[in-house]
A = this chain, B = another copy of it.
Amino acid sequence: MQPSMNIKNLVKKEVAGLKAYSAREIPCRVKLDANESPYGLGDALKAIEVIDTNRYPDPEAKKVRKIMARDLRVKPGNILQGNGSDELIYYLIATFGGPVLYPVPTFSMYGIIAQALGEKGIGIPLDKNFDLDTAGMLSAIKRERPKLVFLSSPNNPTGNCFSADRMLKIIGAAKGIAVVDEAYQPFAGGQGFLTFLRDYENLAILRTLSKIGLAALRMGFLIADETIIEEVNKVRLPFNVNSLSQAVAVEALKEKKQLSSFVRSITAERDRVSRELEKLEGVVPFPSEANFILFRVKDPDAVYESLLKKGILVRNISGTVGGCLRVTVGRPEENRAFLEALRKILISGQGE
């Protein structure tokens, strides 16, 4: 038996300060908390039947990257596959280091992963319209010389796209890599920032299949100049995307019409739900170009709990954005259930 060691003292100080992701499972009837698509692509699972479970995955994920390259009109060499775009954020920070700059509020993983890797995270508050504070970001770039800048557009949890001109100013001023995280871009329409890849060699774009019906797979993509891809590829684990997810992604990505129709349903529902929320006394929905809606209520904790009692799970982010809840756009009947429940709660005064 050894003398007692204090394992916690062995941990890197940045890691000691982290909290593990809370995985509390909350039972519910209508799950609108995680920005998942309400529509699955079950047919694509048939691709699984032909896999040799005993063989390692294709370390280059060639088939998936080829399809994505064609869809995005880039070369396969401009694409790196990740076990979710989370993992690509890990790899970007491992490759370039910190400081890591991002606006706040935004996707929490930029800051968490920076801390996990012992790098400094710098959050600059968004302006009152949830747009980028250009002056604040530029001043942070000058002062801190961040190795990485993360801009999530559409932004989570606010739902809006940042102004393109502000984004371009920041990307142009950055002395490091500027990463535009387009996880929610399919719901905003257009090509996003892919068109700027040619003009800004420090620009990298993140995409994911998690929001369009394939969250179960964990499949994200980094799109950038080959030089960036080659460097990030050095820190990638060789078999980071398993064979099952590769096979299902290939099948699912063939179903362009179905994927587009799901996205159209979700955006139409988003706009409808937004209009309905606007009609409700005491509810302020914010404009969204994503698959979720941020909205303000008088007593977010009470509304959250009352919704949950009725079986409707949304995300309470009042700790991050004062007074706000975030609801994922679900199927029409799920959205109706949500709106109906919210209406009743507000009328009965449970949420005030």
Q: Which of chain A's residues 85-99 have a Cβ closer than 8 Å to chain B?
A: 86-87, 90, 94-97
Write the residues of chain A forming the contact surface with B, with a CB cutoff of 8 angstroms: 1-2, 4-5, 7-8, 10-12, 15-16, 18-21, 23, 25, 31, 34, 36-42, 44-45, 48-49, 51-60, 83-84, 86-87, 90, 94-97, 109, 113, 116-118, 147, 172, 175-177, 199-202, 210, 213-218, 225, 227-228, 230-231, 233-245, 248, 252
Cα–Cα distance between A54 and B209 once the two chains are bound (Å): 9
A7 touching B227 in the complex, CB below 8 Å, given contacts A2-B202, A201-B2, A216-B242: yes
Cα–Cα, bound, A54→B238 (Å): 26
Q: Which chain B positions have C-beta within 8 A of A18? A: 234-235
Shortest CB-to-CB span from A352 to chain B, Å, is 32
Are the CB atoms of B55 and A225 closer together than 8 Å? no
Which residues from chain B contact A59 at a C-beta distance below 8 Å?
Answer: 21, 23
Report chain B residues within 8 Å CB of A199. 1-2
* Residues in B whose Cβ lies below 8 Å from that of A248: 53, 244
Asked whether B95 lies within 8 Å of A54 as measured between CB atoms, the reply is: no
Give Cα A7 to B297, complex, Å.
46
Given contacts A20-B236, A244-B245, contact A53 B49 (CB under 8 A): no
Contact A116 B55 (CB under 8 A): no
Closest beta carbon of chain B to A314's beta carbon, Å:
16
Most buried by B among A15, A83, A237: A237
* Chain B residues in 8 Å Cβ range of A109: 237
Could you list some 8 contacts between A and B, CB below 8 A? Answer: A10-B96, A36-B55, A36-B56, A52-B216, A83-B240, A94-B117, A116-B234, A218-B240
